[in-house]
Structure 1
Amino acid sequence: MNQIEDILSQLTLEQKADLCSGLNAWNTFPIASLGVPEALMTDGPHGLRKQYDKESAMLESSVPATCFPPAATTACSWDKDLLYRVGEALGSEARDQGVSLVLGPGINIKRSPLCGRNFEYFSEDPILSGDLGAQMIKGIQSTGTGACIKHFAANNREYFRMVSNSIVDERALHEIYLQGFERAIKTARPYAVMSAYNMLNGDYCGEKKELIAGILREDWGFDGLVVSDWGACYNREKGIAAGMDLEMPYSGEENTERIMRSVAKGTLDQQALDACVRRVLSFVFRCEAEKSKPYTYDAQKNHEIAREAAASSAVLLKNENGLLPLKPGTKVALLGEFAEKPRYQGAGSSMINPLQLETALEEFPKYGIHFIYSKGYDSTKDETDESLLTDAKRVADEADVAVIFAGLPAHYEMEGIDRTHICIPQNQAELIEQVAATKPVVVLLCGGAPVEMPWIGCVTSLLHCYLGGEASASAAAQLLTGAVNPSGKLAETYPIHLSDTPSYRFFSDDRHNVEYRESIYVGYRYYDAAKMDVLFPFGYGLSYTTFSYSDLRLSRDTLLAGQSLSLSFTVTNTGKVAGAEAAQVYIEHGPAEKHLCAFGKVFLQPGETKELSFTLSERDFSFYHGGWKLMDDCTVLVGASSRDIRLKAMVSIPRGMTPPKYPLATDGHWDAVAFYSLFDKIPQISFSKHPFTINATLTDFDSAAIGRQIHRVAKWFAKKYIVSDNYLGQQIMLQLLDQNPFRVLVSLSGGLLTYCMARGVLMIANGQVLIGLLAFITASRKRRKRKIKSK
């Protein structure tokens, strides 16, 4: 600390402002003359995406790395130890590549299955998300690499994410959308927290003092770095005042100059700037010190951990007549293009360049699966190719069982783009239905989010592999043959229809104001309270064996403020093969409120019994109402899913309070009057398209004739100059081009567009054509890369 204070005393105002922004797209700003090093950060969260070009944030080429299964998959393992080891392996690769901070894990709640980035997030439940995220953070940081938890907070959709305002009531915010962050941050102490793109109740998350200085720092005691999501700075001075320390990537001299002007004018407190600089310095010196920490990097071992994670996370959803595991010698028709072009990760800033990508065509024979392959469908299209379907049916006729790879194609799951439905392509559904008419069918479902399954009745077995990472093919082979017994359980509810979801009518109806009218009723909290039929409940998953629960014991049956409660129960493997069971503990208050509070996974040999024990705190029995309040009498539930409850016991809480009654409408929504009565003031924002400002998007430009011309020119320029590893990366960047405000286009352009150039474009769009054109040309001639100021 003395070193930091000594450096701080020598810094000029300009140097302080410089330290609060990156050097380029991925490095912090160094000051060599004062011995301030730079720290390299890279995208995660399920692998290392270290770009070769440090100046660009445009999803360009990255170094090969192990592609672990993403959070949507590993959450289904319900295995804290596994998440620690995945983090440890990821951290070892970061150290090997000289990376100081991995940008992950993502802890955001799966409010709707439509969110295009759900594959990066763990669950619809904050306890599962927070506890698994904490273990992954611990694993990463055990290697001397930092972890950055993201995206803080209420970033639950991709549609116009840079300008949308999440309107969340106080209770839902704390119980649902913040609690996962709180558990992970308090338990694992990540190096950094990343602020989200969106607004929260009218303020940008990176500028919301109540969120950063208040909840994160004062309430939770976080003293690490707060970094912006890439391009998420709107008003940099407000961000500094709120405690958002570091802007990434470097967006030009404008924000540095704005900080300096604001301090000079007295509109920004020098102490607030100094506090941010201290935390940046503390972060970079911590990263530098950790470079001496020993670590072991083993690419093959990491590949094996990726395989274990995929196998342990797959969820057996249906298995009639014990079709799985496949009997030795079974003649298999292997159908579906995913067998040769696997779906193993989502698209966006987390796209990993895999070191050892497997395919089912190569791996299945190694496990004794004898098959004839037919493509069955074109994964880039939705419509049926009759010739492919006919050939698949011919191959199926020659087999005992058809194993069909199906699910969500790559272009269905992309950062920046939300889904509009939750169906698999028609060509896949038709393949399943027609083949199932003549043969037993095993569907290997691939994808990072729930899907509707009108075809579920015709299949014999359904194994949900989610997105299995680079070793997904061998993991699937192990599960099909019984070398591994499926033990995954769903980390999110599967609705029968999209319209059943509680956020259905208020997910993307407004690009600017997003009303969370379902409030606390997210996921299973809604479905179970409303007693709504679902396709598969939260926590559900089958096995090749069976388990029984017994002997629930509580340390007390009456709870007072400040007390904790210990509980234990036994789980027995009542089947004939070894397997693992993820047991779940819930707290229920009345018929309308139930929440997960603990979970544990136990491996058992046939006939073996083990005891699981948990300690529940006062917080587990509390609700949020101006602070955490102990609720009154509750029931402790123990089960195999949120709806498969095996054991229960009452807990009396004589001095507890009854939570306020939240309306539970049959369609999952409150009316506007009831919803907004929860707020002191209505936190909506108004957005004026004219005149166009730095916060306008190219889509907004379409409202004016000259704006439409600018939009077309920008699209042409982007298609010509945006370089990406693949087609999906380019599509994401083009989509973001339409929906991102001009300020973000500046930040992410890598110097191609400056704030001065952007202002010239805005002048043109607002009718000042000649002046704007002159300003744009003049500014474009002055573009320059950031230079390190060492004195």
Structure 2
Amino acid sequence: MSPIKTTSYNQLDIDYLIDELTLAEKISLLAGKDFWHTVPIPRVKIPSIRVSDGPNGIRGTKFFNGVPSNCFPCGTGLAATFNKDLLVESGELMGKEAKLKGAAIILGPTCNIIRSPLGGRSFESYSEDPLLSGIAAASVIKGIQNEKVVACLKHFVCNDQEDDRRAVDTLLTDRAFREIYLKPFHIAIRDSNPKSFMTSYNKINGEHVSQSKKILQDILRKELNYTGTIMSDWYGVYSTKEALDAGLNLEMPGPTRFRQINQVLQAVQSNEVSEDVIDENVRYILRLVNESLKAEIPDDVVESPNDDPAAGELLRKVGDESIVLLKNENNILPLSKTKIEGQGKIAVIGPNVKVAQDSGGGSASMTTRYKITPWEGIQTKLEEGNNTVGLEYSLGAFLDSTLPDVGLTLFNEEGEKGLNARFYKHPPGHKGDRLLLEELKLSTSRVLLSDYSSEHLDPNKPLYYVDFTGTYIPDETAEYNFGTSCVGTAQIFVDDALVVDNKTKQTKGDAYFLGMGTREERGSVHLEKGVSYNVRVEFGTAPTYTLESGLEDAGGVYFGIQIKSTPEVEISKAVKLAKEVDTVVLVVGLSKECESEGFDRPDMDIPGSTNELIEQVVKANPNVIVVNQSGSPVTMPWAEKVPAIIQAWFGGNELGNTIADVLFGDYNPSGKLSMTFPKRLQDNPSYFNFGSSNGEVLYGEDVFVGYRYYEKIDLKPLFAFGHGLSYTSFELDELVVTNDGDSVDIKVRVTNTGKLAGAEVVQIYIEQENPLIPRPKKELKDFGKIHLEAGKSGIVELSISIKEATSYWNVSKRKWQSDKGTYKVLVGTSSDKIEVEDKFITSKTFNWVGV
């Protein structure tokens, strides 16, 4: 055999390898080795490359008890910063953390369009606007790839709902496809060249994206000149020949379902698949390996957390800038950390006060290195103010339909927050040694064991038992509910007394594993305030399950604890407290159970009795601040009645501190809404056309998505796209617009006219006068953020190419078209607050394609 050839960075010689590899070896490269790795070929020194989920943090290779990660605010929160440089910094931190997890490829960012508030993964994407989505994605990609780590942009394309996501046929016009849904990916290629793409599950106009030559070859490769590697979403391949011919380079995960060596060999030998097609796909895999090698990750890397304090500082900065001040009547905010007239006692009320809603669910979830709850953040802030302000708490309302995760409510045997888990070969009551396999400390009571392993277990029959133990100390004397759902069997004991039995009689439910597990079984027991109670959950894995699951792994268990009460009782307690204090902070919103990969929201409302809670509390005390945590819009029927509203998103590790920073004015809010908040779901343009109907979804709103629709029909939303207030005030003036024929250059002066330092986002919208076809009234074309001291002015300068500023997709010509004519430059601080405007004129009509 010839000597192995490499180039700089220990790069593989691709041309040499294409000649050297056997056909069987080439085929093996076209699918993953396992869930997280590509296939190696040691004979020619092709290494295995690791990937990791990464929409808002780098999980690593384990779902169960993974190495702790730093969690960023969700995608919509990141985009709400409107800060390109900060997003680059965020990407750089993601790249650094990927290396610590041994991952050379991050499966993210996500830049699908939020066409409806109901999308289960809306929180994971960036915006309803393609320009903001594309720039946010490009900025994060730049940061990731600055660290020589590969970004995998997803999900290409039109993966904008979870309902029937593997099969749904997305029906839309070519114009909507180009101007709205393809545009973020177009921008990302133009500005940051992500080294890999992930295809979406869905079909577009009758054909699965992962096997569409039109989309992957004609558009992505030829028109957009994309040279990176294209991989499937996990189990998102539906054919052998069609996907290979279309240029889907990598099937993930492994082992392969559609690219088995014998199967593909026969297809090649029978001329069903050309060997040239195999070589071309292999070439892109080898390019991906070469890009991954630049990260210089050791083969023997051990996954580790990033404990650098600088990481926490950046997460806090990003979280601060993501928070949007939606409303602030009579300057009720910021609050004071010391007692002043009218503010001597604060009540913090709501189901999200003492839990950390760090992220949405699904592939965005991870074992977070630490979490700061809003309660903890506010407590710490008041301690900084010498604790002269009194602080009280009430639950007020229930949020999730299942009992909450108590991983950080219980205390383990060492007295730390968390629980102990002991893994055994044999069940409780076994005569003789149960054979202890392992002891672990966990920080969650929502346990999936799909990737747990032990040398003492048969990997083909994952039968074993786990005892989870912890100490629970109630906040008040009352009856408490204990509950568990599982794939397997589970019983809960409190001080050795059986309280919940989900073992001897099980009932199918839908709250776990997408309907594969039991319903949540509950039991209750009276507990005394301040007394320590020993809680033990005895769990047997999936082989002990008495129902049908279809799972081949160990399954898992969820268990929780919560005071047994009714909405009426909890609201009554909250109202009583509200009457006794000067100011009320209501921390409400959604959770992982509401917004997650795998399902869409049924409506736009906050579940449970939260709205009734807010209505009753504001009657009892008018000084109410509502802090909403969600990744997408929620209905706010009380918006006119409360003086202040903050949108805090799913805020990552530092969410409690960032909420407190804004509440008490240590950070002057500068976030802007990355999507429109409608008054009601019926106002949303996708209202009649969301979700799968007989396997199809019609994008009937065409290009009129988000603010484009609301402005076109003159419908005022609750809060407009780009909206966000500050504790200071700004003015825009002295707009100068110049056009050199290739670009339009914009200068505008921004003055901080208030008494506090702060930051403002200058938003540039373009409107065509007398368009030849129906177009939105205006479209966002760029933005810039500027920080100014009180009384100071600064200049924001932006340059936009004429073709990007003016063009629409000409369906008949299948090209972008810029019409000669007059265009308005509208400059403001939100889509509905334009402060200055000017015009420019173009002298010719022209068409173009590409980037």
Query: Please, which of 588, 594, 600 is the counterpart of residue 767 of structure 2?
Result: 588
1:479-518 aligned at under 5 Å gives the runs 479-508=662-691, 510-518=693-701
| 2:455 paired with 1:446 | no
Q: CA–CA distance in 2 between the matches of 1:161 and 1:519?
A: 20
| 2:310 paired with 1:301 | yes
Q: For residue 569 of structure 1, what is the aligned residue in structure 2? A: 748
| 2:280 paired with 1:275 | yes
Q: For residue 638 of structure 1, what is the aligned residue in structure 2? A: 827
Say whether the 8 Å CA contact 1:95–1:144 is kept in structure 2.
no
Q: 1:590 offset after TM fit, Å? A: 4.0
Alignment-mate amino acid for residue 641 of structure 1: S
Q: For residue 350 of structure 1, what is the aligned residue in structure 2? A: 364
Say whether the 8 Å CA contact 1:619–1:628 is kept in structure 2.
no
Q: 1:273 offset after TM fit, Å? A: 1.3
Q: CA–CA distance in 1 between the matches of 2:753 and 2:305?
A: 40
Q: For residue 660 of structure 2, what is the aligned residue in structure 1? A: 477
Q: For residue 782 of structure 2, what is the aligned residue in structure 1? A: 598
Alignment-mate amino acid for residue 782 of structure 2: A
| 2:323 paired with 1:314 | yes
Say whether the 8 Å CA contact 1:158–1:418 is kept in structure 2.
yes
Q: CA–CA distance in 1 between the matches of 2:214 and 2:606?
A: 42
Q: 1:653 offset after TM fit, Å? A: 2.3
Identity %: 35
Q: For residue 772 of structure 1, what is the aligned residue in structure 2? A: none
In structure 2, relative to structure 1, the CA distance for the partners of 1:426 and 1:254 (3 Å cut) is closer
Alignment-mate amino acid for residue 188 of structure 2: A
Q: 1:244 offset after TM fit, Å? A: 1.0
Q: For residue 32 of structure 1, what is the aligned residue in structure 2? A: 42
Q: For residue 627 of structure 1, what is the aligned residue in structure 2? A: 815
| 2:208 paired with 1:204 | yes
Q: CA–CA distance in 1 between the matches of 2:258 and 2:660?
A: 55
Q: Alignment partner of 1:334: what SS?
A: strand
Q: Deviations over 1:323-352 (max 9, x none)?
A: 000133231001012111122210001102
Alignment-mate amino acid for residue 604 of structure 1: L
Say whether the 8 Å CA contact 1:51–1:61 is kept in structure 2.
no
* Unpaired stretches in structure 1, ≥5 consecutive residues: 53-58, 660-791
Q: CA–CA distance in 2 between the matches of 1:45 and 1:412?
A: 18
Q: What TM-score, normalized by structure 2, do the two folds share?
A: 0.74
Q: For residue 400 of structure 2, what is the aligned residue in structure 1? A: 380
Q: For residue 332 of structure 2, what is the aligned residue in structure 1? A: 323
Say whether the 8 Å CA contact 2:816–2:847 is kept in structure 1.
no
Alignment-mate amino acid for residue 638 of structure 1: V
Query: Please, which of 592, 597, 603 is the counterpart of residue 410 of structure 1?
Result: 592
Q: What TM-score, normalized by structure 1, do the two folds share?
A: 0.80
Q: CA–CA distance in 1 between the matches of 2:188 and 2:806?
A: 19
Say whether the 8 Å CA contact 2:149–2:292 is kept in structure 1.
yes
In structure 2, relative to structure 1, the CA distance for the partners of 1:370 and 1:272 (3 Å cut) is farther
Alignment-mate amino acid for residue 144 of structure 1: K
Q: 1:530 offset after TM fit, Å? A: 1.1
Say whether the 8 Å CA contact 1:66–1:299 is kept in structure 2.
no
1:130-209 aligned at under 5 Å gives the runs 130-209=134-213
Q: CA–CA distance in 2 between the matches of 1:283 and 1:252?
A: 18
Say whether the 8 Å CA contact 1:364–1:370 is kept in structure 2.
no
In structure 2, relative to structure 1, the CA distance for the partners of 1:384 and 1:646 (3 Å cut) is farther
Q: 1:658 offset after TM fit, Å? A: 12
| 2:113 paired with 1:109 | yes
Q: For residue 67 of structure 1, what is the aligned residue in structure 2? A: 71
Q: 1:253 offset after TM fit, Å? A: 5.8
Q: For residue 711 of structure 2, what is the aligned residue in structure 1? A: 528
Q: For residue 400 of structure 1, what is the aligned residue in structure 2? A: 582
Q: Deviations over 1:615-657 (max 9, x none)?
A: 1112221111111111232211101111111111122223238
Query: Of the two, which has the highest radius of gyration?
Result: 2
Alignment-mate amino acid for residue 597 of structure 1: K
1:47-62 aligned at under 5 Å gives the runs 47-52=57-62, 59-62=63-66
Alignment-mate amino acid for residue 357 of structure 1: K
| 2:626 paired with 1:436 | no
Q: CA–CA distance in 2 between the matches of 1:658 and 1:517?
A: 26
| 2:204 paired with 1:20 | no
In structure 2, relative to structure 1, the CA distance for the partners of 1:620 and 1:384 (3 Å cut) is farther
Say whether the 8 Å CA contact 2:76–2:127 is kept in structure 1.
yes
Alignment-mate amino acid for residue 231 of structure 2: V
Q: Alignment partner of 1:46: what SS?
A: coil
Q: Deviations over 1:249-269 (max 9, x none)?
A: 014465223322221111222
Q: 1:101 offset after TM fit, Å? A: 0.5
Q: For residue 284 of structure 1, what is the aligned residue in structure 2? A: 289
Q: CA–CA distance in 2 between the matches of 1:461 and 1:64?
A: 35
Q: CA–CA distance in 2 between the matches of 1:253 and 1:109?
A: 30
Alignment-mate amino acid for residue 587 of structure 1: I
Alignment-mate amino acid for residue 110 of structure 1: I
In structure 2, relative to structure 1, the CA distance for the partners of 1:511 and 1:484 (3 Å cut) is farther
Q: 1:34 offset after TM fit, Å? A: 0.8
Q: CA–CA distance in 2 between the matches of 1:509 and 1:233?
A: 20
Q: Alignment partner of 1:514: what SS?
A: strand
| 2:790 paired with 1:609 | no
Q: Where is the helix percentage greater, Structure 1 or Structure 2?
A: 1
Aligned CA RMSD, in angstroms, stands at 2.1
Q: CA–CA distance in 1 between the matches of 2:748 and 2:267?
A: 60
Q: Alignment partner of 1:151: what SS?
A: strand
Q: CA–CA distance in 1 between the matches of 2:274 and 2:92?
A: 40
Q: CA–CA distance in 1 between the matches of 2:699 and 2:600?
A: 17
Alignment-mate amino acid for residue 179 of structure 2: E
Q: CA–CA distance in 1 between the matches of 2:226 and 2:787?
A: 36
Q: For residue 604 of structure 2, what is the aligned residue in structure 1? A: 422
Q: CA–CA distance in 2 between the matches of 1:575 and 1:411?
A: 41
Q: For residue 78 of structure 1, what is the aligned residue in structure 2? A: 82
Q: For residue 354 of structure 2, what is the aligned residue in structure 1? A: 340
Q: 1:536 offset after TM fit, Å? A: 0.7
Q: For residue 760 of structure 1, what is the aligned residue in structure 2? A: none
Q: CA–CA distance in 2 between the matches of 1:644 and 1:255?
A: 54
Q: CA–CA distance in 1 between the matches of 2:832 and 2:163?
A: 33
Say whether the 8 Å CA contact 2:53–2:364 is kept in structure 1.
yes
Alignment-mate amino acid for residue 569 of structure 1: V
Say whether the 8 Å CA contact 2:589–2:606 is kept in structure 1.
yes
Q: Alignment partner of 2:709: what SS?
A: helix
Q: CA–CA distance in 1 between the matches of 2:25 and 2:107?
A: 25
Q: Deviations over 1:109-140 (max 9, x none)?
A: 11111100001000001110111111111111
Q: For residue 710 of structure 1, what is the aligned residue in structure 2? A: none
Q: CA–CA distance in 1 between the matches of 2:263 and 2:700?
A: 38
Q: CA–CA distance in 2 between the matches of 1:29 and 1:260?
A: 17
Q: 1:370 offset after TM fit, Å? A: 3.9
Alignment-mate amino acid for residue 456 of structure 1: A
Say whether the 8 Å CA contact 2:397–2:608 is kept in structure 1.
no
In structure 2, relative to structure 1, the CA distance for the partners of 1:20 and 1:609 (3 Å cut) is same
| 2:403 paired with 1:214 | no
Q: Alignment partner of 1:597: what SS?
A: strand
Say whether the 8 Å CA contact 1:159–1:511 is kept in structure 2.
no
In structure 2, relative to structure 1, the CA distance for the partners of 1:122 and 1:511 (3 Å cut) is farther
* Unpaired stretches in structure 2, ≥5 consecutive residues: 1-6, 299-303, 383-388, 403-564
Q: CA–CA distance in 1 between the matches of 2:305 and 2:120?
A: 35
Q: CA–CA distance in 2 between the matches of 1:185 and 1:229?
A: 19
Say whether the 8 Å CA contact 2:815–2:847 is kept in structure 1.
no
Q: 1:363 offset after TM fit, Å? A: 2.3
Q: Where is the strand percentage greater, Structure 1 or Structure 2?
A: 2
Aligned residues: 649
Q: Alignment partner of 2:13: what SS?
A: helix
Q: Alignment partner of 1:339: what SS?
A: coil
Q: 1:513 offset after TM fit, Å? A: 1.4
In structure 2, relative to structure 1, the CA distance for the partners of 1:89 and 1:254 (3 Å cut) is closer
In structure 2, relative to structure 1, the CA distance for the partners of 1:252 and 1:652 (3 Å cut) is closer
Q: CA–CA distance in 1 between the matches of 2:161 and 2:681?
A: 15
